[in-house]
Structure 1
Amino acid sequence: MGWPLKVVTTGDLGALCHVLWSWELCDNCLNATSKGLSRCGVALCNCAWGRRAERLEPFFEFYRQTTRPYVPDFFGDHDQAIRSHRDLLDILELIKSHGTDRTRGGCMAEYFGRRSGGKESLVPQSDQDRAFELAARIMTMTHVSCEKGQDMFSAETNWDIESKQGDLLPQWREQYTLPESLDHLFMACIHPSLQNSDPQSKLIRETLTAVNLKKIAGLKIESTNNLHDHLKLNPSTGTVQIFHQTTFLKEHLLATLSTRDIPGLSRHLALETICTIQLLFPPENATSQSFLRNLVSKGGFDPDCLRFGTASFELPGRGEKERAMRFPTWGTRLMHLYDEIENPKPRGRVEAWLERRSKSRHVMMVTAIGVLTAVLLGLFGLCLSIFQTWIAWRQWKDGDHR
């Protein structure tokens, strides 16, 4: 059957926005068979697609890259879990409608039971799992696993930045709803040093910028499309991953202004993530903004990252921004990054060698530089003495001959 999700049309992307965020689209936009972000061609069409689709191109590209590799599992006469983009959208719609009160097992039983007409589904269990993994990833931009195996729902494992287990995929277990699983994964843990009551909070926030992470800590900033990897530090490579899809987060916030939360992401998580980006790239700092523009043009960051301000996405009178700025979800990772600025780890080979041999690598490095300088000066003095001796010898020899 090949790759059933290889081709993505304008109509597929429009239907995706309709399912995820309830965009009101005209029939022409929903049924468009062209590729790209072209409008339906109706002169008076003023639906959401024509006004907002262009900004979502980074998310649409993520959707294309995520869905394209899907290949169904076939065993004998078995069916495939996803036959077209319409099947994937139907799964998304089911999770959105019943995701808060129905477990993954319940949603899967309903969807594949409906397709088989109440009979036993011919879709392999592994393929069913992959279909719901794909749907959850599109809906939340968080890579989770639906396969049975390691359990990744302990808070200690999830937030242990330097743990090798941190690279394992978190699970969406069969007996959990999607919001329950995400609540376990993005567990709140307010860090006291980032609160206004701490006298050092203002200094920490001013110091904690992407420019300082690069210049002082020697870290490299990379983009990620996995929300779970946001602000994750890789000590071995010296990289920090930043979730950059702010247009996706803002669409989620707009969609939930007048309705309940869409299953998966909570409003506070989406808003807090945007606030962390604005913390690392303060809009009033010209150097930070230049760095961010460079990441947009060369690092694959969503251009919407350059658009600051969240007032139009907040619920009025709820104090959402104030709660988000307490960083209940990302505070621990932010403080890990602050520690890198205050106590930079060795990145180069020379610094790493010195680190292994001294508790105070900076003192040892200065000493080594001093010794090297002394040796060079000694060699220079020796060469100068030899040269002077040679000149004196030449003068003596010339005078003796005369």
Structure 2
Amino acid sequence: MDNTALQSADVGLIPKIGQALWSWETRQGGASVTAERCKRLHRYFQFYTAAVSTYLEASPNPAARSLLFHEDLFRAISTLRSNPAFTKKEYCQAQFPPTSELDFSNAAALVVRVFVMIESGVLHSSSNRLEKGSFRIHWKDDVAFNQYLQHLFPQENHAVLSHADNELFLTMKSSLRANKLKKHLRVSFRATHDIRNHLCFDRQANVIDIYHHIAFIKEQLRTTQEGGDFRTPTLSIEAGSLPRQLLLEVLDSIQGVLFPLSDPKCKQILQSLITSCSFDPDIVNFEYGSIRRPGEENISYIYLADRLSDLYSEICNPQPRGWLERRIERKSGARYMMLATLIGVSFAIFLGMVSLAVSSYQTWIAYQAWQHPVVIAPV
């Protein structure tokens, strides 16, 4: 048993985190493989330590904490994996000692945050250290965990994006490349630690959220690669994963849609995000055989179709952003005519004012010449 207190954390915990989340066994593949996987999870480990720090800040009294050691957290994750149908109330009563109800919520939020990287706590009890302004639906006491996840990630059938064999599928994907989004919409990209915020478009800030923890996604894909039906939260959670289709869509939306690794411009943007926004460096590493099954070459979208479609609609019909654009909508023929007329009238007024100024000056010169005639002295 690991009695390392939550206040202490070093990279030596990563294999134990892997065992708790994905049932890692170091004897399978050898120690070198595990060491390489630990190295790739460095960005996730930074998130893990920040999440634990947030919990400790929210529960400053050690005597009232439900979780004291990292091993307590790992056992709590194992309980949730084994019982995805537990409601939050049932889970807390089964897992945590009878401490304060407030810490029940804090502890459960930490477990979910570390396990599936979703902010499930109520908004007022969550620190701004991890993320600001995030969309959030908290896990309620009477809701089963698998139902909570199913509610967070509804499936939608899109006429094009849900069918990879549609002739317009590649056209839409090509239009959504990062360099085109930056060129036509002047957007920027923001890292998010909450997978449910992936591809959310903040129109007011003109920012697209990108869930960037690709190494974390790949570990879940590895654990669900061998057989089994992991399309529903109930089955996938027991394996230590979110629904496999959701993970494939997140991965493909990054490496195949917004930032195709074969496109030098998009890859350059991605590299800059690693440097400037602390994106997971593993985001530029393409893997296939170790994480995908046969038949998963082309990914159709049922979870993220609406968000991709929203971005595509914005590309085709950008919303006005400035004061003038909001009054003269772009991509509108009638409004273009109004703009042209307005510019023409303004230019005519300007020319009229210039002509008036020139005429006034000429009149003044003539008046001065009349008032002060030049007398030529006789020779």
1:375 positional shift: 4.2
Alignment partner, residue 267 of structure 1:
244
Distance 1:85 1:393, change over 3 A: farther
Correspondence 1:20 to 2:21: yes
> 1:158 matched to which residue of 2?
none
Partner of residue 210, structure 1:
178
TM-score, length basis structure 1: 0.74
Query: Which residue of 1 is the match for residue 139 of structure 2?
Result: 172
SS of structure 1 residue aligned to 2:252:
helix
The verdict on how the C-alpha distance between 1:99 and 1:387 changes in structure 2, with shifts beyond 3 A counting, is farther
Structural mapping, 1:1-400, within 5 Å: 5-25=6-26, 46-71=31-56, 73=59, 79-96=64-81, 98-100=82-84, 102-112=86-96, 121-145=97-121, 169-194=136-161, 195-196=163-164, 198-258=166-226, 261=236, 262-263=239-240, 265-277=242-254, 278-315=256-293, 317=294, 319-322=295-298, 325-355=299-329, 361-379=335-353, 400=374
- Please state how far the C-alpha of 1:198 moved relative to its aligned partner: 4.3
Specify the code of the residue in structure 2 equivalent to 1:193: V
Cα separation, 1, equivalents of 2:375 and 2:337: 57
Shift of 1:204: 1.6
Query: Cα–Cα, structure 1 residues 83 and 245, in superposed 2: closer, same or farther, change >3 Å?
Result: same
Contact 1:268 1:320 in 2 (8 A): no
Using the TM superposition, give the Cα deviation of residue 373 of structure 1 relative to its aligned residue in structure 2, in angstroms: 3.9
Deviation at 1:388, TM superposition (A): 7.7
CA distance in 2, matches of 1:331, 1:299: 26
Kept in 1: contact 2:190–2:210 (CA 8 A):
yes
Higher relative contact order (CA 8 A, sep 6+): 2
Q: 1:374 to 1:70 in 2, by over 3 A?
A: same
**Paired residue for 1:152?**
none
Is the CA contact 1:78–1:122 (under 8 Å) kept in the aligned structure 2?
A: no
Q: How far apart are 1:82 and its partner, in Å?
A: 1.4
CA distance, structure 1, for counterparts of residue 289 and residue 355 of structure 2: 68
CA distance 1:108–1:293, change in 2 (3 Å): same
Number of the residue aligned with 2:232? none
Counterpart-to-counterpart distance in 1, 2:73 and 2:106:
11
Among the aligned pairs, what percent are the same residue? 28
Structure 1 position 252, deviation (Å): 1.2
Contact 1:25 1:47 survives alignment (8 Å):
no
1:238-281 CA-partner distances (Å, limit 9, x unpaired) = 22111111111011111222376334511111111101112111
1:110-168 CA-partner distances (Å, limit 9, x unpaired): 223xxxxxxxx431122112211111111111111379xxxxxxxxxxxxxxxxxx966
Change in Cα spacing, 1:122 to 1:311, as seen in structure 2 (3 Å) is same
Asked whether the equivalents of residues 6 and 69 of structure 1 are also in contact (C-alpha less than 8 Å), the reply is: no
CA distance in 2, matches of 1:58, 1:134: 17
Superposed CA offset, 1:283-312 (max 9, x none): 332222222222222122222222234343
Deviation readout 1:187-230 (Å, 9 max, x if unpaired): 11121122345443332222122222222123322111111111
Structure 1 pair 127/336, CA: closer, same or farther in 2 (3 Å)? same
The amino acid of 1:109's aligned partner reads Q
1:80 and 1:171 map into 2 onto residues whose CA distance is: 20
Tell me the secondary structure at the aligned position of residue 312 of structure 1. Answer: coil
Root mean square deviation, CA, Å: 3.5
| TM-score normalised according to structure 2 size | 0.78
Q: Where in structure 1 are there 5+ consecutive unaligned residues?
A: 27-44, 113-120, 148-165
Q: CA separation of 1:9/1:78 partners in 2, compared to 1, >3 Å: closer, same or farther?
A: closer
Q: Secondary structure at the match of 1:70?
A: helix
Q: Is the contact made by 2:224 and 2:241 (CA closer than 8 Å) also made in structure 1?
A: no
2:172 and 2:312 in contact (8 A); partners too: yes
Which letter maps to 1:296?
I
Q: Does the 8 Å contact 2:85/2:146 carry over to 1?
A: no
